[in-house]
Structure 1
Amino acid sequence: MAEVNLNDLEKINNKKEIIDFLVEHNVIKEDKFKEKLAYERELKDLQKDLLELQLQVIKNNKRVLIIFEGRDAAGKGGTISRVTEYLNPKKYRVEALPKPTEKEQGQWYFQRYFEKLPNAGEIVFFDRSWYNRAVVEPVFNFCTKDQYDKFLKQVVEVEQLLQDDGIILIKIFLTITKEEQAKRLQKRKDNELKQWKLGALDEKAQELWDDYSAYIETMFQKTGSEHSPWIEIETDSKKDARLIALKAICAELSNINFSDNILSIHS
């Protein structure tokens, strides 16, 4: 076993560097951790790519809105954490709006979300969004059929207006199998440190699986388009899902012509 230098240990900042250090000093064998090493390396490379793209967004005063939607326990929080891990924290925000207040309930449905839209040189992540009205609200009868129908019509027009004004819109939906969802929800119940993740609506996710499925499919059909597509990602493997999400975001941002005043996203 090679001698371990304490000064070298102090330079370690993340899991990948820990594994690399242990392999280099023959503490562990690389073969045993080959899959984990490959994941950590690809993750780090993609995070670097996204950081470079963020620097271009900042330099060119662009505005980026990334919507994350998905089934309960599909891993939105963990995916967003990996995506944003190395971004400049001054130039991105994660917005997870709570239940609307009584005042907000009397406003135009999109109004409270508009206040959170990205400023020049900023990337904003919506951890759930106005698409609550496309799935969660109708499943639980939190909105009327008229409100639901009106939303499906307006959201397409609203998103087109945002894009016409120069906002880069990326919509990601994280999906999961019913069996895997059941396992994850049970783990949350059994783990005292994760029970806070289990809300009242989550507990109905399995029982209302088919209702969710019907509204999700309608959402894809009614609100996905060539200019504003949904990127659906399978998350039974959390690691694969995080890599795919990063690749998708980088691909969308890479298609931006930063030299032009008018932005276009090619999908």
Structure 2
Amino acid sequence: MASLQLSLPFSSASRFRHRPVLCANERQVLFNRIAPVYDNLNDLLSLGQHRIWKRMSVSWSGAKSGDNVLDVCCGSGDLTFLLSEKIGPDGKVRGLDFSKEQLSIASSRQELLRKACYKNIEWVEGDALDLPFSDCFFDAITMGYGLRNVVDKHKAFEEMFRVLKPGSTVSVLDFNKSTQPFTATIQEWMIDNVVVPVATGYGLAKEYEYLKSSIKEFLTGKELEELALEVGFSRAKHYEISGGLMGNLVATR
């Protein structure tokens, strides 16, 4: 990954459908397997910085008190809980994921934390490529570290566009596929020398080796902006954060 390649400027949406590293079922099994240690590894591997990035992403979503919002690929619920706090008891938030294990952990955290506003959360087992919600249903959508893992990114964006109200925003946080060789080299070094060795201690070396290939198959910030606009969003801006190691796309319908 030391020399990441930019995609050629095809005119068709098919350029956004990269060949998946793992099929959907394999990805589902992977995330079920890492679920028990997912939060601990995130804290350890990011030195707690992922919590800052997630707060930034929720802020960029524009969610406000009383809103009806969605967290796609919610995992163990970090962004979902932040959305819940943002919209308050008069709002409603759905946390959707295809991993039963992740949703089980998210539900357990909800019961353990017992904040009054967390009563506004509903956990939904579902597919990011076929969202079980009606058109123009949500005031804001977040997606944290999920877009990189769906098998059809174009379809995922179409679905988020469909269920989002006009004038509302989707905020997508993920690893940044940098076009800068130095940043890409640092990112690769961290995965090889920090992420995988630490994951090995949890017996998850193969699962976290997938991280490097998933970033390599991901889209650059410019490609993400183009994809959002192609689907129909009126505005799209990708922000690089943490020295370009992470990125957040903000797209308004």
Q: TM-score, normalised by structure 1?
A: 0.37
Normalized per residue, the structure richer in strand is 2
| Larger gyration radius, structure 1 or structure 2 | 1
